[in-house]
Structure 1
Amino acid sequence: MSLTMGIGPLAAANRNRLNADLSAAPAHLLYSHEAGKRVRGVVNGETVLDTERAVLLHETGLMPQWYVPRDDVRTDLLTPTDTSTHCPFKGDAAYWTLTVGDRTEVDAVWSYPDPLPAVPELAGLMAVYFDRLDAWLEEDEQVLGHPRDPFHRVDTRRSSRRVTVRVGGAVVAETDRAVALFETGLPVRWYLPREVFDVAGLSDSDTRTVCPYKGIATYQHLTVGGRRYEDLLWSYVPGLPEAQQVSGFVSVDDSSDDVQVEVSRA
């Protein structure tokens, strides 16, 4: 997120400024570095890759991607396929199907056997689609959603500012005990104590989303004036370490014109 998306310096539509002229830089940028962590991938109970030499590739508009030395991948579980794709920035990719027991993941693994001169470090490395494996671990902790970007951060701060939530013109919550969550490349999100909402208007949703930096979010609908606003509220219970201070607190989707989150001095 932080380098290649949002307000990051390598984002395609970056509106911020550096004290240098980047007009000659290509519109699509690549940046890679050693991950510096032990990375493992597991499928069907079997470890299919285990490395301390992973390379993390950042690419304009994309989430970061691990590339792993071929020697650290269980190539005995791989079968080459006829699939080939071309990337104008990295070269021609070859693919493999991953088979573990009765589980088959077609074209789950790829590599650039002869990468373009811009990315020579990809030679001899393989990559795996994150969602094709059952679990990924950095050291001994599971990673959710996609590889974590070391340049991405989440900060939470308790605030005495007055936060008011209006839905359909009605005030549905108000507090001076909110927590502000600042996340790289994203607007500030305000998390409110759950008890400031009228529980009579709340109903649970089956929706779940995953954030590599905050954890698994659960959602609730909110009914106001006879209208139900779907998946309006979400919370992280429990949250990952960076989001512990908002664990159990509730944030509001204010992307609709009917919903406003107003912040003022108490």
Structure 2
Amino acid sequence: MSLTLGSGPFARPLAGHLNFDLEAAAPAHVLYLHEVDRRVRGEVAGETVVDTVGARMLHETGLLPQWYLPLSDVSGELVDSDHRTHCPFKGDARYWHLRVGDRVLENVVWSYPDPVRGSPNLSGLGAFYFERLDAWFEEDERVFAHPRDPFHRVDTRRSSRLVRVWAGSLLIAETRRPVALFETGLPVRWYVPREDVASEFLVPAERVTMCPYKGRAGYFDLEAPEVSGAEVAWTYPLPLAEAAAVAGYLCFAGPRVRVEVG
């Protein structure tokens, strides 16, 4: 996904084609730091612990993008930690605990006070383990799972192509009104209206996941005469704006089902 994952221009191995030799022109491990043109806030126990309009985003080969926020904009109490790590591409990382009332989040913030030569200047900036805070916001909208990548897109297109989903020799979905969802670095996903699915073979699963671009997903297990399997389909009942067209639709994938697109 985005610049350094999937089909991005700096992903390794390179999925697409360039008109120059990337291995000769760029290091094997790419770092790209840029400004984030929006307010970023983090909360713990309902209290804002960081609030900034000076955020940066670091893209790094093989990793999801990471916010680096000015340490001067952290309002929670930072307590120095003895924990240290070393990155050959960024340098020695220093860590802090974050104290909020009686709650202490251990080693939740890190920074590179003296980045190695060739690294973007990360001094004065700190990164947070995203999932350790209770909530994150861009402006006043909640961000889930991980920071949203400005180079990542989700597009939906309504289609009249024939989409069939098979479980063995059993046809469990057939439609000529699917919605194709195109997402950066991922294969096209075909979403089928629930009315065009043989729902008697699907059982709601317990799993729930959060996508920062599409929202909260629920899953279904398959219980069919020939084939059964866990989490063969998913749905976004209340998707975020970018994926609004697939609200309530089902998407199928995995080794237990076969999706045919005419």
TM normalised by structure 2 equals 0.97
What's the Cα RMSD here?
A: 1.2
Query: Does structure 1 retain, via aligned residues, the 8 Å contact 2:33–2:120?
Result: no
Helix, strand or coil at the partner of 2:152: coil
Higher mean displacement: 186-195 or 222-231: 222-231
Cross-structure match for 1:262: 260
Higher mean displacement: 13-22 or 91-100: 13-22
Helix, strand or coil at the partner of 1:174: strand
Cross-structure match for 2:37: 36
Cross-structure match for 1:163: 163
Cross-structure match for 1:249: 249
Helix, strand or coil at the partner of 2:22: coil
For residues 226 and 180 of structure 1, the distance between their equivalents in structure 2, rounded to whole angstroms, comes to 28
- Identity rate, percent: 57
Query: Does structure 2 retain, via aligned residues, the 8 Å contact 1:44–1:101?
Result: no
For residues 62 and 23 of structure 1, the distance between their equivalents in structure 2, rounded to whole angstroms, comes to 18
Helix, strand or coil at the partner of 2:23: coil
CA-CA distance at 1:212 after TM superposition: 0.7
Query: Does structure 1 retain, via aligned residues, the 8 Å contact 2:65–2:149?
Result: yes
Cross-structure match for 2:84: 84
Structure 1 gaps of 5+ residues are none
Amino acid at match of 1:36: D
CA-CA distance at 1:175 after TM superposition: 0.5
Q: Deviations over 1:54-88 (max 9, x none)?
A: 0000000111101011110125x111111000000
For residues 162 and 100 of structure 1, the distance between their equivalents in structure 2, rounded to whole angstroms, comes to 55
CA-CA distance at 1:228 after TM superposition: 3.0
Helix, strand or coil at the partner of 2:121: helix
CA-CA distance at 1:185 after TM superposition: 0.3
Q: Deviations over 1:91-127 (max 9, x none)?
A: 0000011121232211000011111122342011111
Deviating beyond 4 angstroms after TM superposition, the runs of 4 or more aligned structure 1 residues are none
Change (3 A) 1:99 1:174: same
Would you say how many aligned residue pairs link Structure 1 and Structure 2? 261
CA-CA distance at 1:226 after TM superposition: 6.1
Cross-structure match for 1:140: 140
Cross-structure match for 1:127: 127
Structure 2 gaps of 5+ residues are none
For residues 15 and 218 of structure 1, the distance between their equivalents in structure 2, rounded to whole angstroms, comes to 30
